[in-house]
Chains A and B, each alone.
Chain A
Amino acid sequence: MSADRREWPLYEVFVRGKRGLNHVHVGSLHAPDDAMALRHARDVYTRRNEGVSIWVVRADAITASSPDEKDPLFAPNGDKIYRHPTFYEIPDDVPHM
Chain B
Amino acid sequence: MSDEHGSVFDGLLGGDDSAQWAFGTGFEDPLAGVDTTTPGGVDPAELAAYCLMLGDDALIMSQRLSEWCSRAPDLEEDIALANIALDLLGQARLLLTRAAAADPDVLPRLPEGSPVPPEDALAFFRDERRFRNVWLAEVAGGDFAHVVVRLLLFSVARLALLERLRTSRDQVLAAVAGKGVKEVTYHRDWAGRWFLTLARGTGESRRRLLAALDALWPLQAETVAAHPLERALARAGVGVDPASAREEVDAVLGQVFAVSGVARPEPAQPSGIGGRTGRDGVHTEDLGRLLAEMQAVARAHPGGRW
- Within the complex, are A and B direct neighbours (CB within 8 Å)? yes
**Contact stretch, chosen from B72-80, B228-236, B256-264:** B72-80
A30 touches B76 (CB 8 A): yes
A44 touches B79 (CB 8 A): yes
User: Which residues on the A side are within 8 Å of B22 (C-beta)?
Assistant: 47
Mark interface residues in A15-53 (1 if CB within 8 Å of B CB, else 0): 000000000000001111001100110011001101000
B79 touches A39 (CB 8 A): no
User: Which residues on the A side are within 8 Å of B83 (C-beta)?
Assistant: 43, 47-48
A40/B186 contact (C-beta < 8 A), A35-B193, A48-B83 known: no
Contact of A39 (CB < 8 Å), options: B74, B182, B190: B190
**In the docked arrangement, what's the CA distance between A40 and B76, Å?**
6
The smallest C-beta distance from B179 to any residue of chain A, in angstroms, reads: 11
**In the docked arrangement, what's the CA distance between A31 and B80, Å?**
13
**In the docked arrangement, what's the CA distance between A34 and B74, Å?**
17
**In the docked arrangement, what's the CA distance between A57 and B125, Å?**
49
Number of interface residues of B (CB under 8 A): 12
Mark interface residues in B163-192 (1 if CB within 8 Å of A CB, else 0): 000000000000000000010001001100
Contact of A31 (CB < 8 Å), options: B76, B79, B182: B76
The smallest C-beta distance from B13 to any residue of chain A, in angstroms, reads: 25
B76 touches A44 (CB 8 A): yes
- Decide if the interface of chain A is mainly helix, strand, loop or mixed: mixed
- Point out residues on B near A: beta carbons under 8 Å: 22, 74, 76, 79-80, 83, 182, 186, 189-190, 193, 197
User: Which residues on the B side are within 8 Å of A50 (C-beta)?
Assistant: 182
User: Which residues on the A side are within 8 Å of B80 (C-beta)?
Assistant: 39-40, 43
Interface centre among B76, B80, B83, B186, by most chain A C-beta atoms within 10 angstroms, is B76
- Count class of interface residues, chain A: 10 to 19
B76 touches A48 (CB 8 A): no
User: Which residues on the A side are within 8 Å of B189 (C-beta)?
Assistant: 39
14 other A-B residue contacts (CB within 8 Å) besides A30-B74, A43-B79, A47-B22: A29-B76, A30-B76, A31-B76, A32-B197, A35-B193, A39-B80, A39-B189, A39-B190, A39-B193, A40-B79, A40-B80, A43-B80, A48-B83, A48-B186
User: Which residues on the A side are within 8 Å of B182 (C-beta)?
Assistant: 50
The contact sample of 22 A-B pairs, CB cut-off 8 A, is A8-B74, A29-B76, A30-B76, A31-B76, A32-B197, A36-B193, A39-B80, A39-B189, A39-B190, A39-B193, A40-B76, A40-B79, A43-B76, A43-B79, A43-B80, A43-B83, A44-B79, A47-B22, A47-B83, A48-B83, A48-B186, A50-B182
User: Which residues on the B side are within 8 Å of A31 (C-beta)?
Assistant: 76
User: Which residues on the B side are within 8 Å of A47 (C-beta)?
Assistant: 22, 83
User: Which residues on the A side are within 8 Å of B76 (C-beta)?
Assistant: 29-31, 40, 43-44
**In the docked arrangement, what's the CA distance between A8 and B77, Å?**
13
User: Which residues on the B side are within 8 Å of A40 (C-beta)?
Assistant: 76, 79-80
User: Which residues on the A side are within 8 Å of B190 (C-beta)?
Assistant: 39
**In the docked arrangement, what's the CA distance between A29 and B77, Å?**
11
The smallest C-beta distance from B278 to any residue of chain A, in angstroms, reads: 29
User: Which residues on the B side are within 8 Å of A29 (C-beta)?
Assistant: 76
**In the docked arrangement, what's the CA distance between A36 and B79, Å?**
13
> Sorted from nearest, which 3 A-B pairs have the closest CB atoms?
A40-B76, A43-B80, A43-B79
